Amino acid sequence: MRRCRRGAALMFELQNYLAEISGFDAVSLQPAAGAQGEFTGILVFRAYHLSRDDTDRTEILVPDAAHGTNPATAAMAGYTVVELKSDERGNVDMDDLKRKLSPRTAGMMLTNPNTVGLFEEQIVEVARLVHAAGGLMYGDGANFNAILGIVKPGEMGFDFMHYNLHKTFTTPHGGGGPGSGAVGCTAALAPFLPGPRVREGQQPGTYGFFMPEQSIGRVKAFHGNFGMLVRAWTYIRTLGEAGLREVSEIAVLNANYIRTQLDALYPPAIDRICMHESVLRGQIAGAQGVRTLDIAKRLIDFGFHPPTVYFPLIVPEALMIEPTETESKRNMDRFIEALRTIAREAVETPELLHNAPHNAPTRRLDEVRAARKPILRYDREKFAEMMAE
């Protein structure tokens, strides 16, 4: 019993911490990942509009730089996805936004800083326009680690957002599952949140679970991915207010350090001070037939896990570098040196890149086959067979 009460206390505190850090009124810890948090948010948008007999809103606006889960979420929730262009500074194109807002707009999904690693400079005006059209603002919180303790999404004009607890509040930029896509929102949307949520009981120090009055229901069994909640709570308690702010300050500083050390060799997608990540292009001057994939594979030979490539989709030959707050200067310098060496090789000995990695047990994997015919159980003989191929 006692253990159970402590679990509820931890959830209650985590709800409050997340609400405070993000500037929202209510939090639900149910969703299992960012993508499920998005789905939850868009279902809440729908429930909100329908509760007001506002039945003609069928469209969700999504910028062309968005993570693939954003349009997938809107489509899965039954909405028509309306794509918004980005402008030459990497922000949402305001003219395109104005053209596409209408009485059909249910809401907009936006990541800030966005997936190009840039702060949306017009965020307040974007939110004002969407609200004026009767729409709601969904914040994709996957890049929250750039702004902790500096600015709150709730104050930027977002109505709802997901936290990727497994990214921002434990393992910088993911690192695999399990996940938690807790969600926060304004008081107006709180009645629709999934439950159970936790609230304080009559007696101080007691807690109870409840379903919000107009809840969209459960989205996950039990109490979400509870283990991830414990990790996030611990991370927040350990760092405290000043520590969380430092996470973002260092993450942003590190990303800009790497960007300025490499941008003469790897042209930036947009030449602007970046936030927690910078998107460069694997288009090295004087290199023939070398692609970002070759550069990424060659990095393995230098002992580095390659960064995200070919995302965001609007940047040709994208190489997205996010050092996070945890990398030491020494590590970043080794990484920068490796990419400088690779840029030289790309011009002088491009075959070294085409055949990379040289030091790994496997070279280029057949990613299509891996997706279509996944082998989910380890089979020693089969593995030996594959290695011999």
Ligand X SMILES: *Cc1c(COP(=O)(O)O)cnc(C)c1O
Which residues bind to ligand X, rule: CB under 6 A? 33-35, 67, 69, 111, 115, 140, 142, 164, 179, 181
Task: Report the residue number, 35 or 274, with the smaller CB distance to ligand X.
Answer: 35
Q: Of the candidates 114, 132, 12, which has an alpha carbon nearest to the alpha carbon of residue 64?
A: 114
Task: Report the residue number, 8 or 116, with the smaller CB distance to ligand X.
Answer: 116
The two structure tokens encoding residue 210: 């409840």
Task: Report the residue number, 108 or 342, with the smaller CB distance to ligand X.
Answer: 108
Q: In sequence order, what DSSP letters do the residues of 285-308 get, joined into one string?
A: TT-SS--HHHHHHHHHHTT----E
Asked if 165 contacts 159 with a C-beta cutoff of 8 angstroms, the reply is no
Task: Report the residue number, 67 or 231, with the smaller CB distance to ligand X.
Answer: 67
Provide, rounded to whole angstroms, the least separation between the CB of residue 23 and ligand X: 19
Provide, rounded to whole angstroms, the least separation between the CB of residue 324 and ligand X: 13
Provide, rounded to whole angstroms, the least separation between the CB of residue 108 and ligand X: 15
Task: Report the residue number, 18 or 133, with the smaller CB distance to ligand X.
Answer: 18
Q: Of the candidates 115, 177, 154, which has an alpha carbon nearest to the alpha carbon of residue 26?
A: 154
Cβ atoms < 10 Å from Cβ of 347: 13
| E strand or H helix that includes residue 61 | strand 59-63
Provide, rounded to whole angstroms, the least separation between the CB of residue 174 and ligand X: 6
Provide, rounded to whole angstroms, the least separation between the CB of residue 64 and ligand X: 14
- Give the burial class of 297: count Cβ atoms within 10 A of its Cβ; 0-12 exposed, 13-18 middle, 19 or more buried: buried
Task: Report the residue number, 33 or 108, with the smaller CB distance to ligand X.
Answer: 33
Residues 6+ apart with CB under 8 A from 291: 282, 317
Task: Report the residue number, 115 or 215, with the smaller CB distance to ligand X.
Answer: 115
Q: Of the candidates 289, 314, 307, 298, which has an alpha carbon nearest to the alpha carbon of residue 114?
A: 314
* Bridge partners for 110 per DSSP: 139
Provide, rounded to whole angstroms, the least separation between the CB of residue 321 and ligand X: 14
User: What angle (nearest 5°) sits at the alpha carbon of residue 135, between those of residues 68 and 315?
Assistant: 30
Provide, rounded to whole angstroms, the least separation between the CB of residue 167 and ligand X: 6
